[in-house]
Amino acid sequence: MVRKAIEIAADYGRKRTTFGKRLGEHQGWRWSLGDADVDLTAAQQLVAHAVELIDNGEDSQFAAAKAKIFATRLAEQHLPKLAQLMGAEGLQDQYPFGRHLVAARVAGFVYGSTEMLLERLTLKHTKPA
């Protein structure tokens, strides 16, 4: 969802002009895209690590939990910012921002809520040796 939102916002920024130049020429506007891209790359690396563990038959429970937590937070954090890069235009039905915002929130509830996964992760670190 975040990858698609970055693509949509970037495309919009190449076309829309404000104050005599394209949105994509405004430094602060570009930084929001860059922040989302950095976090998306980190999420992809966490997922790739969990997949590698699964493929190797190793315990992937904690790696998968970390990937889900990070990816869910990433979507909840960046989707509203990416939608805002398009202003009111991003609210139109032709763009998926509204649907993606709801889906990102739901993702935090299913297959183990973020809080439940965090509890399992922290128990791993707080059990006596």
Q: What is the pLDDT of residues 68-119, one digit of tens each?
A: 999 999 999 999 999 999 999 988 999 999 999 999 988 888 767 778 888 8
Q: What is the pLDDT of residues 27-36, one digit of tens each?
A: 999 999 999 9
Residue 122 pLDDT greater than 90, yes or no: no
- Please state, for a pLDDT cut of 90, what percent of the chain lies above it: 76
Q: Say how far apart CA 104 and CA 64 lie, in whole Å.
A: 17
The two structure tokens encoding residue 74: 């990433």
Domains and CATH numbers, the chain: 2-126 (1.20.140.10)
pLDDT at 117: 84
Residue 25 gets the label, from left (phi > 0), alpha (psi -120 to 50) or beta, of alpha
What separation in angstroms does the CA of 29 have from each of 9, 21, 64, 107? 10, 12, 32, 27
pTM of the predicted structure, to 2 decimals? 0.86
Residue 22: phi and psi, rounded to 5, are: -65, 150
- Please state, for a pLDDT cut of 70, what percent of the chain lies above it: 98
What pairs with residue 38 in β-bridges? none
Q: In this structure, what DSSP letter does residue 110 have?
A: S
Q: Say how far apart CA 44 and CA 67 lie, in whole Å.
A: 8
